[in-house]
């Protein structure tokens, strides 16, 4: 049996992406999304169209300009800037107190660190702080 890649109508693509027909056509006109196979009501969109539109939607919702989206779609290796913070948005921060008045605060998600990398970072910071304290005591 041959696997046929999924094909979508414009209406189906709108339902899957949450974008309007007008917006999808605009992105095609700008060259952000490839033209569909066929024209008018016979036009069909594939998985690549769906993935591009979902990426464009995510990036534009995060505040990126369409020019920046174009750069990202063209494969430029520059990562997108962090999403702007919004009032009322919940963030999880880790706070480690090294000594009275000395603490380290880190947001692993924003720092793009795994839990193991956070543990290693904090161990290295604590080790460096202990060395500084030992030097002060020796003097």
Q: What's the mean per-residue pLDDT of the chain?
A: 84
Nearest Cα to 54, choosing from 8, 97, 94? 8
**pTM (2 decimals)?**
0.53
Nearest Cα to 33, choosing from 4, 19, 76? 19
Distance CA 129, CA 81 (A): 32
Beta bridge partners of 37: 44
What pLDDT band is residue 77 in, cutting at 50, 70 and 90? Answer: low
Mean pLDDT of 30-48: 87
Residue ranges of domains in the chain? 10-73, 94-138
Min mean pLDDT across 35-39, 55-59, 79-83, 106-110 is at 79-83
pLDDT of residue 27: 94
User: Which one of 3.40.80.10, 1.10.1660.10, 3.40.50.10490, 3.40.50.300 gives the CATH number of domain 10-73?
Assistant: 1.10.1660.10
Asked whether residue 1 carries a pLDDT value surpassing 60, the answer given is no
Q: Where are the alpha helices (DSSP H) in the chain?
A: 10-17, 21-30, 47-61, 66-73, 108-111, 115-138
What pLDDT band is residue 99 in, cutting at 50, 70 and 90? Answer: confident
Residue pLDDT, tens place only, 15-29: 999 999 999 999 999
């Amino acid at each position: 049996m041959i696997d046929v890649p999924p094909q979508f109508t414009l209406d189906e693509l709108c339902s899957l992406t949450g974008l309007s027909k007008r917006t999808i056509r605009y992105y095609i006109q700008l060259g952000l999304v490839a033209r569909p196979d066929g024209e008018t009501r016979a036009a069909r969109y594939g998985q690549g169209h769906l993935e591009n539109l979902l990426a464009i939607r995510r990036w534009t919702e995060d505040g990126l300009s369409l020019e920046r989206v174009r750069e990202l779609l063209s494969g430029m290796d520059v990562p997108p800037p962090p999403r702007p913070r919004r009032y009322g948005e919940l963030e999880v921060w880790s706070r480690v107190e090294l000594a009275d008045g000395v603490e380290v605060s880190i947001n692993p998600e924003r720092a793009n660190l795994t839990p193991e990398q956070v543990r290693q970072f904090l161990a290295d910071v604590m080790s460096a702080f202990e060395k500084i304290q030992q030097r002060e005591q020796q003097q």
